[in-house]
Amino acid sequence: MSTITELIHSIPVDPQTGAIAVPIYQTSTFVQEAPGVNKGYDYARSNNPTRAVLEQLVAGLEKGAAAYAFASGLAAIDAVVKLLQAGDEIIAVDDIYGGAFRLFDKVYKKFGISVQYVDTTDTEKVAAAFTAKTKLVWLETPTNPTLKISDIRAIATLAKAHGALLCVDNTFASPVLQQPLTLGADIVVHSATKYLGGHSDLIAGIVVTKEKALGDEIKFYQNACGAILSPFDSFLLIRGLETLHLRVRQHGSNAQAIAEYLEQHPLVDKVFYPGLPSHPHHDRAKQQAKGFGGIVSFTLKTDTVPAATALVCSTHYFKLAESLGGIKSLLCHPASMTHKSIPEDIRHANGVADSLIRLSVGLEETQDLIADLEQAFARAGSSKQVEKLPAYREQEELALALAL
Protein backbone atom coordinates (compact mmCIF):
# COMPACT_ATOMS: atom_id res chain seq x y z
CA MET A 1 0.00 0.00 0.00
CA SER A 2 1.81 3.11 -1.07
CA THR A 3 -0.75 5.65 -2.15
CA ILE A 4 -3.38 7.35 -0.08
CA THR A 5 -5.99 6.07 -2.55
CA GLU A 6 -4.99 2.48 -1.81
CA LEU A 7 -5.01 3.18 1.93
CA ILE A 8 -8.46 4.72 1.93
CA HIS A 9 -9.94 1.98 -0.23
CA SER A 10 -8.35 -0.85 1.75
CA ILE A 11 -10.74 0.05 4.56
CA PRO A 12 -13.69 -2.20 3.77
CA VAL A 13 -17.32 -1.20 3.62
CA ASP A 14 -19.14 -3.18 6.33
CA PRO A 15 -20.25 -6.46 4.70
CA GLN A 16 -23.36 -6.74 6.91
CA THR A 17 -24.84 -3.28 6.40
CA GLY A 18 -22.86 -1.31 3.81
CA ALA A 19 -21.79 1.19 6.49
CA ILE A 20 -18.95 3.25 5.01
CA ALA A 21 -17.37 3.84 8.42
CA VAL A 22 -16.02 0.76 10.19
CA PRO A 23 -18.59 -0.26 12.83
CA ILE A 24 -17.54 -0.60 16.46
CA TYR A 25 -18.34 -4.23 17.27
CA GLN A 26 -18.81 -3.69 20.99
CA THR A 27 -19.41 -7.30 21.94
CA SER A 28 -17.67 -9.87 24.12
CA THR A 29 -18.86 -13.00 22.35
CA PHE A 30 -20.38 -14.28 19.08
CA VAL A 31 -23.32 -16.68 18.70
CA GLN A 32 -22.39 -20.03 17.16
CA GLU A 33 -24.63 -22.16 14.91
CA ALA A 34 -23.22 -25.36 16.40
CA PRO A 35 -20.17 -25.92 18.65
CA GLY A 36 -17.19 -24.57 16.70
CA VAL A 37 -19.35 -23.47 13.75
CA ASN A 38 -19.21 -19.66 13.59
CA LYS A 39 -18.64 -16.71 11.25
CA GLY A 40 -14.92 -16.55 12.01
CA TYR A 41 -15.37 -15.00 15.43
CA ASP A 42 -15.97 -16.78 18.75
CA TYR A 43 -14.69 -14.61 21.63
CA ALA A 44 -13.61 -10.97 21.40
CA ARG A 45 -10.24 -11.34 23.16
CA SER A 46 -9.25 -13.73 20.38
CA ASN A 47 -10.83 -11.83 17.47
CA ASN A 48 -12.92 -8.75 16.94
CA PRO A 49 -14.11 -7.45 13.54
CA THR A 50 -13.24 -3.79 14.29
CA ARG A 51 -9.77 -4.75 15.51
CA ALA A 52 -9.32 -7.07 12.52
CA VAL A 53 -9.86 -4.18 10.07
CA LEU A 54 -7.29 -2.10 11.94
CA GLU A 55 -4.76 -4.94 12.00
CA GLN A 56 -5.04 -5.54 8.26
CA LEU A 57 -4.74 -1.84 7.57
CA VAL A 58 -1.49 -1.47 9.55
CA ALA A 59 -0.04 -4.68 8.07
CA GLY A 60 -0.60 -3.10 4.64
CA LEU A 61 0.91 0.24 5.65
CA GLU A 62 4.07 -1.44 6.94
CA LYS A 63 4.20 -3.99 4.09
CA GLY A 64 3.98 -6.87 6.55
CA ALA A 65 2.21 -10.23 6.44
CA ALA A 66 0.33 -9.66 9.70
CA ALA A 67 -0.28 -7.05 12.40
CA TYR A 68 -1.74 -7.29 15.88
CA ALA A 69 -3.13 -4.46 18.00
CA PHE A 70 -2.41 -4.09 21.72
CA ALA A 71 -3.63 -1.95 24.59
CA SER A 72 -0.46 0.20 24.51
CA GLY A 73 2.89 0.53 22.79
CA LEU A 74 4.49 -1.13 25.77
CA ALA A 75 2.10 -4.09 25.58
CA ALA A 76 3.18 -4.47 21.92
CA ILE A 77 6.87 -4.39 22.91
CA ASP A 78 6.10 -6.89 25.68
CA ALA A 79 4.58 -9.32 23.16
CA VAL A 80 7.77 -9.22 21.07
CA VAL A 81 10.01 -9.93 24.08
CA LYS A 82 7.81 -12.94 24.86
CA LEU A 83 9.19 -14.57 21.69
CA LEU A 84 12.42 -15.08 23.72
CA GLN A 85 13.36 -17.55 26.44
CA ALA A 86 15.42 -17.42 29.62
CA GLY A 87 19.12 -17.19 28.71
CA ASP A 88 18.53 -15.26 25.47
CA GLU A 89 20.17 -11.89 24.89
CA ILE A 90 18.98 -8.67 23.27
CA ILE A 91 21.17 -6.03 21.64
CA ALA A 92 19.34 -2.72 22.05
CA VAL A 93 19.85 0.88 20.94
CA ASP A 94 21.49 2.74 23.84
CA ASP A 95 19.15 5.72 24.04
CA ILE A 96 16.10 3.48 24.01
CA TYR A 97 12.59 4.66 25.00
CA GLY A 98 12.54 4.80 28.82
CA GLY A 99 9.52 2.50 29.14
CA ALA A 100 11.22 -0.19 27.04
CA PHE A 101 14.33 0.11 29.22
CA ARG A 102 12.19 -0.31 32.35
CA LEU A 103 10.46 -3.36 30.85
CA PHE A 104 13.80 -4.99 29.98
CA ASP A 105 15.53 -4.02 33.22
CA LYS A 106 12.80 -4.43 35.84
CA VAL A 107 10.67 -7.19 34.35
CA TYR A 108 12.53 -9.42 31.88
CA LYS A 109 15.93 -9.37 33.62
CA LYS A 110 14.45 -11.39 36.48
CA PHE A 111 13.21 -13.96 33.95
CA GLY A 112 16.77 -14.41 32.66
CA ILE A 113 16.69 -12.24 29.52
CA SER A 114 19.61 -9.86 29.36
CA VAL A 115 20.19 -6.74 27.28
CA GLN A 116 23.36 -5.15 25.91
CA TYR A 117 22.93 -1.45 25.14
CA VAL A 118 24.95 -0.36 22.13
CA ASP A 119 25.38 2.82 20.10
CA THR A 120 23.58 1.33 17.11
CA THR A 121 24.39 4.35 14.92
CA ASP A 122 27.81 2.66 14.66
CA THR A 123 27.16 -0.58 12.74
CA GLU A 124 30.63 -1.89 13.71
CA LYS A 125 29.68 -1.70 17.39
CA VAL A 126 26.53 -3.71 16.67
CA ALA A 127 28.59 -6.32 14.79
CA ALA A 128 30.93 -6.63 17.78
CA ALA A 129 28.10 -7.11 20.26
CA PHE A 130 26.63 -10.39 18.95
CA THR A 131 27.11 -13.54 21.04
CA ALA A 132 25.81 -17.06 20.48
CA LYS A 133 22.90 -16.12 22.75
CA THR A 134 21.77 -13.01 20.84
CA LYS A 135 18.21 -13.63 19.66
CA LEU A 136 16.87 -10.13 19.12
CA VAL A 137 18.20 -6.75 17.98
CA TRP A 138 16.11 -3.78 19.10
CA LEU A 139 16.33 -0.50 17.20
CA GLU A 140 14.65 2.83 17.44
CA THR A 141 15.47 5.15 14.59
CA PRO A 142 15.16 8.11 14.87
CA THR A 143 15.79 7.96 18.63
CA ASN A 144 14.25 10.05 21.36
CA PRO A 145 15.08 12.91 21.92
CA THR A 146 18.35 13.37 19.97
CA LEU A 147 17.04 11.81 16.72
CA LYS A 148 20.01 9.56 16.03
CA ILE A 149 19.67 7.36 12.95
CA SER A 150 20.80 3.73 12.68
CA ASP A 151 21.33 1.90 9.39
CA ILE A 152 18.39 -0.53 9.31
CA ARG A 153 19.53 -2.41 6.20
CA ALA A 154 23.09 -3.03 7.43
CA ILE A 155 21.90 -4.13 10.89
CA ALA A 156 19.26 -6.41 9.34
CA THR A 157 22.03 -8.16 7.39
CA LEU A 158 24.05 -8.64 10.59
CA ALA A 159 21.04 -9.94 12.54
CA LYS A 160 20.23 -12.44 9.80
CA ALA A 161 23.84 -13.69 9.69
CA HIS A 162 23.65 -14.36 13.44
CA GLY A 163 20.21 -15.98 13.37
CA ALA A 164 18.67 -13.13 15.40
CA LEU A 165 15.47 -11.21 14.76
CA LEU A 166 15.53 -7.47 14.07
CA CYS A 167 12.71 -5.42 15.57
CA VAL A 168 12.40 -1.71 14.79
CA ASP A 169 10.31 0.61 16.94
CA ASN A 170 9.01 2.78 14.09
CA THR A 171 6.99 5.16 16.28
CA PHE A 172 8.94 8.32 15.42
CA ALA A 173 9.05 7.83 11.64
CA SER A 174 5.66 6.19 10.95
CA PRO A 175 5.23 3.90 7.92
CA VAL A 176 4.62 6.94 5.72
CA LEU A 177 8.29 7.85 6.03
CA GLN A 178 10.03 4.57 6.78
CA GLN A 179 9.13 0.92 6.22
CA PRO A 180 11.69 -1.17 8.12
CA LEU A 181 10.28 -4.51 6.87
CA THR A 182 11.22 -3.52 3.31
CA LEU A 183 14.79 -2.84 4.57
CA GLY A 184 15.18 -6.31 6.07
CA ALA A 185 13.68 -6.02 9.57
CA ASP A 186 11.54 -8.94 10.81
CA ILE A 187 9.26 -7.02 13.16
CA VAL A 188 8.01 -3.46 13.51
CA VAL A 189 6.38 -2.10 16.65
CA HIS A 190 4.51 1.14 17.14
CA SER A 191 3.27 3.17 19.97
CA ALA A 192 0.11 3.94 17.99
CA THR A 193 -0.60 6.48 20.74
CA LYS A 194 1.63 8.84 18.73
CA TYR A 195 1.47 9.46 14.94
CA LEU A 196 -0.76 6.51 13.97
CA GLY A 197 -3.55 7.67 16.26
CA GLY A 198 -2.45 11.25 15.75
CA HIS A 199 -5.02 13.06 17.87
CA SER A 200 -3.70 12.52 21.43
CA ASP A 201 -6.92 10.71 22.33
CA LEU A 202 -5.91 7.08 22.83
CA ILE A 203 -3.23 4.68 24.03
CA ALA A 204 -2.48 1.79 21.65
CA GLY A 205 0.29 -0.41 20.28
CA ILE A 206 0.88 -2.48 17.15
CA VAL A 207 3.21 -5.34 16.22
CA VAL A 208 3.73 -6.02 12.51
CA THR A 209 5.69 -9.02 11.20
CA LYS A 210 7.20 -9.62 7.80
CA GLU A 211 6.38 -13.33 7.88
CA LYS A 212 3.03 -14.91 8.69
CA ALA A 213 4.57 -17.60 10.94
CA LEU A 214 6.10 -15.01 13.26
CA GLY A 215 2.79 -13.15 13.19
CA ASP A 216 1.05 -16.33 14.37
CA GLU A 217 3.38 -16.43 17.38
CA ILE A 218 2.58 -12.79 18.22
CA LYS A 219 -1.13 -13.55 17.81
CA PHE A 220 -0.70 -16.44 20.25
CA TYR A 221 0.72 -14.07 22.91
CA GLN A 222 -1.91 -11.43 22.14
CA ASN A 223 -4.62 -13.97 22.94
CA ALA A 224 -2.78 -15.89 25.68
CA CYS A 225 -1.74 -12.79 27.64
CA GLY A 226 -4.78 -10.70 26.73
CA ALA A 227 -3.49 -7.12 26.32
CA ILE A 228 -5.79 -6.48 23.33
CA LEU A 229 -6.92 -3.14 21.94
CA SER A 230 -10.61 -2.38 22.58
CA PRO A 231 -13.12 -2.07 19.70
CA PHE A 232 -13.62 1.66 20.35
CA ASP A 233 -9.90 2.41 20.40
CA SER A 234 -9.50 0.28 17.26
CA PHE A 235 -12.13 2.47 15.59
CA LEU A 236 -10.37 5.67 16.71
CA LEU A 237 -7.09 4.35 15.38
CA ILE A 238 -8.60 3.47 11.98
CA ARG A 239 -10.01 6.99 11.85
CA GLY A 240 -6.58 8.42 12.64
CA LEU A 241 -4.88 6.30 9.98
CA GLU A 242 -7.19 7.66 7.30
CA THR A 243 -5.33 10.99 7.49
CA LEU A 244 -1.87 9.69 8.44
CA HIS A 245 -0.27 10.57 5.09
CA LEU A 246 -1.53 14.15 5.18
CA ARG A 247 -0.64 14.68 8.80
CA VAL A 248 2.88 13.28 8.54
CA ARG A 249 3.57 15.47 5.50
CA GLN A 250 2.48 18.61 7.35
CA HIS A 251 4.24 17.67 10.64
CA GLY A 252 7.41 17.24 8.57
CA SER A 253 7.23 20.52 6.67
CA ASN A 254 6.44 22.47 9.86
CA ALA A 255 9.30 20.71 11.67
CA GLN A 256 11.78 21.46 8.86
CA ALA A 257 10.88 25.17 8.94
CA ILE A 258 11.16 25.29 12.73
CA ALA A 259 14.50 23.44 12.76
CA GLU A 260 15.87 25.95 10.23
CA TYR A 261 14.52 28.86 12.30
CA LEU A 262 16.08 27.46 15.50
CA GLU A 263 19.43 26.80 13.84
CA GLN A 264 19.94 30.51 13.19
CA HIS A 265 18.60 31.69 16.57
CA PRO A 266 21.23 33.44 18.72
CA LEU A 267 20.06 31.80 21.99
CA VAL A 268 20.11 28.27 20.55
CA ASP A 269 23.21 26.10 20.77
CA LYS A 270 22.50 22.82 18.90
CA VAL A 271 19.50 21.72 16.85
CA PHE A 272 18.77 18.01 16.42
CA TYR A 273 16.72 17.31 13.30
CA PRO A 274 17.62 14.71 10.65
CA GLY A 275 16.35 17.04 7.92
CA LEU A 276 19.16 19.55 8.58
CA PRO A 277 22.37 19.03 6.58
CA SER A 278 24.22 19.68 9.89
CA HIS A 279 22.71 16.50 11.41
CA PRO A 280 25.45 13.83 11.61
CA HIS A 281 23.22 11.20 9.97
CA HIS A 282 21.42 13.45 7.46
CA ASP A 283 22.50 11.36 4.44
CA ARG A 284 21.58 8.06 6.09
CA ALA A 285 18.16 9.46 7.02
CA LYS A 286 17.64 10.69 3.46
CA GLN A 287 18.53 7.27 2.10
CA GLN A 288 16.32 5.08 4.28
CA ALA A 289 13.32 7.37 4.88
CA LYS A 290 11.06 9.51 2.73
CA GLY A 291 11.14 12.40 5.19
CA PHE A 292 12.43 13.46 8.56
CA GLY A 293 9.40 13.55 10.84
CA GLY A 294 7.84 16.02 13.23
CA ILE A 295 10.18 15.93 16.23
CA VAL A 296 12.82 18.63 16.70
CA SER A 297 15.11 18.93 19.72
CA PHE A 298 17.46 21.76 20.63
CA THR A 299 19.73 23.01 23.39
CA LEU A 300 20.25 26.54 24.65
CA LYS A 301 23.52 28.47 24.81
CA THR A 302 22.66 28.90 28.50
CA ASP A 303 22.76 25.18 29.21
CA THR A 304 20.84 25.13 32.48
CA VAL A 305 17.62 23.61 33.77
CA PRO A 306 16.20 27.04 34.79
CA ALA A 307 16.79 28.50 31.31
CA ALA A 308 15.02 25.56 29.67
CA THR A 309 12.24 25.62 32.27
CA ALA A 310 11.60 29.30 31.62
CA LEU A 311 11.36 28.67 27.88
CA VAL A 312 9.03 25.67 28.07
CA CYS A 313 6.73 27.67 30.35
CA SER A 314 6.65 30.68 27.99
CA THR A 315 5.01 29.22 24.87
CA HIS A 316 1.29 29.47 24.08
CA TYR A 317 0.70 27.02 21.24
CA PHE A 318 3.38 24.52 22.23
CA LYS A 319 1.80 22.91 25.28
CA LEU A 320 4.00 21.47 28.01
CA ALA A 321 3.30 17.73 28.01
CA GLU A 322 4.87 14.34 27.56
CA SER A 323 3.99 12.34 24.43
CA LEU A 324 4.15 13.39 20.80
CA GLY A 325 2.64 12.91 17.38
CA GLY A 326 -0.69 14.68 17.88
CA ILE A 327 -2.24 17.51 15.92
CA LYS A 328 -1.46 20.07 18.65
CA SER A 329 2.16 21.06 19.16
CA LEU A 330 3.75 19.91 22.41
CA LEU A 331 7.07 20.53 24.03
CA CYS A 332 8.88 18.92 26.91
CA HIS A 333 12.06 19.21 28.91
CA PRO A 334 13.50 15.68 29.02
CA ALA A 335 16.01 16.34 31.85
CA SER A 336 13.17 17.10 34.27
CA MET A 337 10.38 15.09 32.63
CA THR A 338 10.75 12.00 30.39
CA HIS A 339 14.44 11.36 31.24
CA LYS A 340 14.40 12.40 34.90
CA SER A 341 14.97 8.86 36.18
CA ILE A 342 18.13 8.41 34.06
CA PRO A 343 21.35 9.14 36.02
CA GLU A 344 22.83 12.52 35.04
CA ASP A 345 26.12 11.14 33.65
CA ILE A 346 24.33 8.63 31.40
CA ARG A 347 21.83 11.29 30.31
CA HIS A 348 24.64 13.69 29.40
CA ALA A 349 26.57 10.93 27.61
CA ASN A 350 23.49 10.31 25.47
CA GLY A 351 23.41 13.97 24.48
CA VAL A 352 20.44 14.93 26.65
CA ALA A 353 21.84 18.19 27.98
CA ASP A 354 20.28 20.10 30.88
CA SER A 355 18.76 22.65 28.51
CA LEU A 356 17.59 20.20 25.85
CA ILE A 357 14.00 20.84 24.77
CA ARG A 358 12.00 18.47 22.57
CA LEU A 359 9.27 19.77 20.30
CA SER A 360 6.52 17.62 18.86
CA VAL A 361 5.58 19.91 16.01
CA GLY A 362 1.84 19.87 15.36
CA LEU A 363 -0.39 20.92 12.50
CA GLU A 364 -0.83 24.61 13.26
CA GLU A 365 0.27 27.21 10.70
CA THR A 366 4.06 27.22 10.42
CA GLN A 367 4.31 30.98 10.96
CA ASP A 368 2.19 30.84 14.12
CA LEU A 369 4.47 28.21 15.63
CA ILE A 370 7.61 30.18 14.79
CA ALA A 371 6.04 33.36 16.20
CA ASP A 372 5.19 31.43 19.37
CA LEU A 373 8.82 30.33 19.81
CA GLU A 374 10.01 33.85 19.01
CA GLN A 375 7.92 35.43 21.77
CA ALA A 376 8.90 32.63 24.19
CA PHE A 377 12.61 33.30 23.56
CA ALA A 378 11.98 37.01 24.10
CA ARG A 379 10.19 36.33 27.39
CA ALA A 380 12.56 33.73 28.74
CA GLY A 381 15.76 35.30 27.40
CA SER A 382 18.98 34.43 29.14
CA SER A 383 19.19 32.68 32.51
CA LYS A 384 19.83 36.08 34.17
CA GLN A 385 16.47 37.34 32.99
CA VAL A 386 14.99 34.00 33.94
CA GLU A 387 15.93 34.42 37.59
CA LYS A 388 14.16 37.78 37.56
CA LEU A 389 10.93 36.40 36.15
CA PRO A 390 8.37 36.72 38.94
CA ALA A 391 6.61 33.55 37.89
CA TYR A 392 9.82 31.52 37.80
CA ARG A 393 9.45 29.88 41.26
CA GLU A 394 6.01 28.70 40.27
CA GLN A 395 7.33 27.39 36.97
CA GLU A 396 10.05 25.43 38.71
CA GLU A 397 7.48 23.87 41.02
CA LEU A 398 5.33 23.04 38.02
CA ALA A 399 8.25 21.35 36.26
CA LEU A 400 9.06 19.37 39.40
CA ALA A 401 5.44 18.33 39.82
CA LEU A 402 5.30 17.16 36.20
CA ALA A 403 8.45 15.12 36.65
CA LEU A 404 6.71 13.04 39.31
Ligand X SMILES: *Cc1c(COP(=O)(O)O)cnc(C)c1O
Please give the positions annotated as active site. 45, 97, 169, 194
Cα(360)–Cα(399) distance, integer angstroms: 18
Among the listed residues 193, 297, 309, 350, the single contact to ligand X using CB under 6 A: 193
Residue positions counted in the chain = 404
d(CA 20, CA 28): 23
For the bound state, the minimum distance from the C-beta of residue 144 to ligand X, rounded and expressed in Å, comes to: 6
Task: Tell me the β-bridge partners of 268.
Answer: 300
Element housing 117 (H / E)? strand 114-118
* Site track 319-338 with ligand X (rule: CB under 6 A), x = hit: --------------------
For residues 141 and 383, give the distance between their C-alpha atoms in angstroms, rounded to a whole number. 33
Handedness of CA 81, 326, 391, 394 (dihedral sign): negative
Cβ proximity to ligand X, 229 vs 386, nearer residue? 229
Of 169 and 372, which has the nearer Cβ to ligand X? 169
Site for ligand X in 227-266 (CB under 6 A): none
Residue nearest to ligand X (CB): 73
CB of 177 to ligand X, least distance (A): 14
Here's the x/- map for ligand X, 114-143, by CB under 6 A: it reads as --------------------------x---
Looking at the Cβ atoms of 165 and 310, the one nearer to ligand X is: 165
Phi-psi region of 277 (alpha: psi -120 to 50; beta: other; left: phi over 0): alpha
Nearest to 238 by CA among 106, 91, 54: 54
Distances (CA, A) of 117 to 146, 168, 221, 312: 16, 15, 26, 31
Binding span for ligand X by CB under 6 A among 29-37, 68-76, 331-339, 380-388: 68-76
CB 188, min distance to ligand X, A: 12
Backbone angles phi, psi at 312, to 5 degrees: -70, -15
Taking CB under 6 A as the rule, does residue 74 contact ligand X? yes
Residues 139-158 that bind ligand X (CB under 6 A): 140, 144
Strand partners, 34: 37
Specify the stretch interacting with ligand X by CB under 6 A; choose among 8-16, 25-33, 187-195, 268-276. Answer: 187-195
| Shortest spacing between CB 205 and ligand X, in angstroms | 5
DSSP states of 161-175 as a string?
HTT-EEEEE-TTT-T
* Stretch in the footprint of ligand X (CB under 6 A) among 24-32, 152-160, 167-175, 180-188: 167-175
Please name the amino acid found at residue 150. Answer: S
Q: What is the DSSP string of 332-365?
A: E-GGGTTTTTS-HHHHHHTT--TT-EEEE--SS-
Q: Is 97 in the site for ligand X (CB under 6 A)?
A: yes
Among 149-157, 169-177, 229-237, 327-335, the segment contacting ligand X (CB under 6 A): 169-177
Half-sphere exposure of 81 (CA within 13 A, CB side): 28
The smaller minimum CB distance to ligand X, of residues 91 and 295, is found at: 295
Applying CB under 6 A, which residues contact ligand X? 72-74, 97, 99, 140, 144, 169, 171-172, 191, 193-194, 203, 205
